[in-house]
Amino acid sequence: MSLAESIPKKLQTNIDNIIDNVSPNPWLTDAEKISYTDKIKVLLKQKDAVVIAHYYVDDELQALAEETGGYVSDSLDMANFGAQHEAKTLVVCGVRFMGETAKILSPEKTVLMPTLDAECSLDLGCPIDEFSRFCDEHPDREVVVYANTSVEVKARADWIVTSSNAIQIIENLMSQGKKIIWGPDRHLGQYIKNKTGADMILWQGHCVVHDEFKLHELEQLMEKHPDAEVLVHPESPEAVIAKADFVGSTKQIIAAGKASPADTLIIATDHGLFYKMSQVVPEKRLIPAPTGGKSASCKSCAHCPWMAMNTLGNLYETLRDMNNTIEVDEQIRQQALKPLNRMIDFSFQQGILTAGDA
- Where does this chain bind ligand SF4 (CB under 6 A)? 56, 95, 120-122, 148, 207-209, 235, 270, 304, 306-307
CB of 324 to ligand SF4, least distance (A): 17
DSSP state of 311: -
CB of 32 to ligand SF4, least distance (A): 26
Q: Could you give the residue ranges of the DSSP H alpha helices within the chain? A: 3-20, 30-46, 59-67, 75-84, 96-105, 121-124, 128-136, 151-156, 166-175, 186-196, 215-224, 238-241, 250-259, 273-280, 312-321, 330-349
Which CB, 44 or 232, lies closer to ligand SF4? 232
Is 271 in contact with 18 (CB distance < 8 Å)?
A: yes
CB of 218 to ligand SF4, least distance (A): 18
- Lay out the sheet containing 89-93: strands in order across: 71-73, 49-54, 89-93, 110-112
DSSP state of 284: S
CB of 16 to ligand SF4, least distance (A): 23
DSSP state of 335: H
CA atoms within a 13 Å half-sphere pointing along the CA-CB vector of 76: 25
Which CB, 170 or 304, lies closer to ligand SF4? 304
Which CB, 89 or 310, lies closer to ligand SF4? 310
In the chain, the N- to C-terminal Cα span, in Å, equals: 56
Burial 288-323, CB ≥16 within 10 A → b, else e: bbbbbbeebeeebbbbbebbbbbbbebbbebbeeee
Which CB, 207 or 241, lies closer to ligand SF4? 207
Which CB, 122 or 221, lies closer to ligand SF4? 122
CB of 70 to ligand SF4, least distance (A): 19
What are the backbone dihedrals phi and psi of residue 285, each rounded to the nearest 5 degrees, phi first?
Answer: -90, 125
Which CB, 56 or 274, lies closer to ligand SF4? 56
Is 252 in contact with 347 (CB distance < 8 Å)?
A: no
Strand, coil or helix: 51: strand
Is 273 in contact with 5 (CB distance < 8 Å)?
A: no
Which CB, 167 or 207, lies closer to ligand SF4? 207
The helices-and-strands tally (H runs, E runs) of the chain is: 16, 12
CB of 306 to ligand SF4, least distance (A): 5
CB of 320 to ligand SF4, least distance (A): 26
CB of 117 to ligand SF4, least distance (A): 13
Pairing state between β 229-232 and 89-93: unpaired
CB of 247 to ligand SF4, least distance (A): 16
Which CB, 63 or 124, lies closer to ligand SF4? 124
Which CB, 148 or 249, lies closer to ligand SF4? 148
